[in-house]
């Protein structure tokens, strides 16, 4: 996934109301408000004075002229836009970068299923089970591990329940975690942040839901899938 326009460097002044961030553009010193496309806690990624990278709005008449794309840490760049992993995953599957999900002829987005839910990606082929893939963005790192979630997510637990029903009905059901950072070697659940999600994950796995995790190669030009991370979940 390549960024549509060059990113611009900025310094974070503050993040507030979840979806807003006051920033100072490095090139001009101009202070403005940017869109923050992330509803989570963003632990360790939204500190005052952090260097961040913004993408210009597609529409020059947009109320907010920029959206926050990356945070730059000493250990590398981190993608903070929770909407990016679906596209990253789709491109990776079509490019054969996720062997566990290879060999399907078609890939559809946002297909209705379950109880008022939409699956992120539905993989189909004439002579194979349909494969329902739920994609989750991961950017939290603690003790060298990528962890999910970084805040309580009732919606995330609901998705796991829906996937479990799909698996029990005879189709493939997959939880795919996309880590938008390059400094982690293992993935685990943040049970202390959301115990209910951890219970839902373990229940779904016992009912046949598969789970995989991949990190990304992140640059100022774009984000692409990099390598598989092992899961450490008791």
Contact 54, 21 (CB under 8 A): no
pLDDT score, position 61 = 73
How many residues are present in the chain? Answer: 234
Structure tokens at 94: 């079509």
Tell me whether residue 150 is exposed, middle or buried, using C-beta atoms within 10 angstroms of its C-beta: 0 to 12, 13 to 18, 19 or more. Answer: buried
Domains within the chain, CATH numbers bracketed = 8-79 (2.40.50.580), 84-228 (3.40.1350.60)
Alpha helices in the chain (DSSP H): 84-94, 154-168, 195-206
Residue 98, SS3 per DSSP: coil
pLDDT-above-90 percentage for the chain: 94
**Which pairs from 201-205 meet CB under 8 Å and 24+ separation?**
201/160, 201/175, 201/233, 202/233, 203/160, 203/161, 203/164, 204/160, 204/161, 204/163, 204/164, 204/167, 204/173, 204/175, 205/233
**How many Cβ atoms sit within 10 Å of the Cβ of residue 31?**
12
For 179-209, write each residue's pLDDT tens digit: 999 999 999 999 999 999 999 999 999 999 9
- What average pLDDT does range 219-230 have in this prediction? 97
pLDDT score, position 59 = 79
Residue 163, SS3 per DSSP: helix
Pairing of strands 223-228, 210-218: antiparallel
pLDDT score, position 117 = 87
Pairing of strands 223-228, 172-179: unpaired
């Amino acid at each position: 996934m390549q960024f549509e326009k060059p990113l611009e460097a900025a310094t974070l002044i503050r993040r507030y109301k979840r979806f807003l961030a006051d920033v100072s553009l490095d090139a001009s010193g101009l202070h403005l408000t940017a869109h923050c496309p992330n509803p989570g806690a963003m632990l360790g990624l939204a500190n005052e004075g952090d260097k961040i990278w913004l993408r210009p709005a597609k529409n020059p008449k947009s109320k907010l002229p920029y959206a926050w794309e990356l945070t730059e840490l000493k250990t590398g760049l981190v993608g903070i836009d929770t909407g990016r992993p679906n596209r990253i995953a789709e491109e990776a599957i079509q490019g054969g970068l996720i062997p566990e999900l290879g060999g399907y002829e078609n890939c559809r987005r946002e297909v209705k299923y379950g109880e008022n839910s939409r699956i992120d990606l539905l993989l189909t082929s004439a002579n194979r089970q349909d494969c329902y893939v739920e994609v989750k963005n991961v950017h939290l790192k603690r003790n060298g591990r990528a962890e999910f979630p970084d805040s309580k997510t009732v919606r995330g637990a609901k998705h796991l329940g829906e996937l479990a029903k799909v698996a029990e009905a005879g189709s493939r059901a997959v939880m795919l975690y996309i880590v938008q950072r390059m400094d982690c070697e293992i993935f685990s659940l943040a049970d202390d942040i959301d115990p209910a999600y951890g219970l839902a994950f373990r229940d779904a796995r016992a009912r046949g839901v598969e789970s995989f995790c991949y990190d990304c190669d992140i640059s100022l030009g774009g984000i692409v899938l990099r390598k598989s991370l092992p899961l450490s979940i008791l």
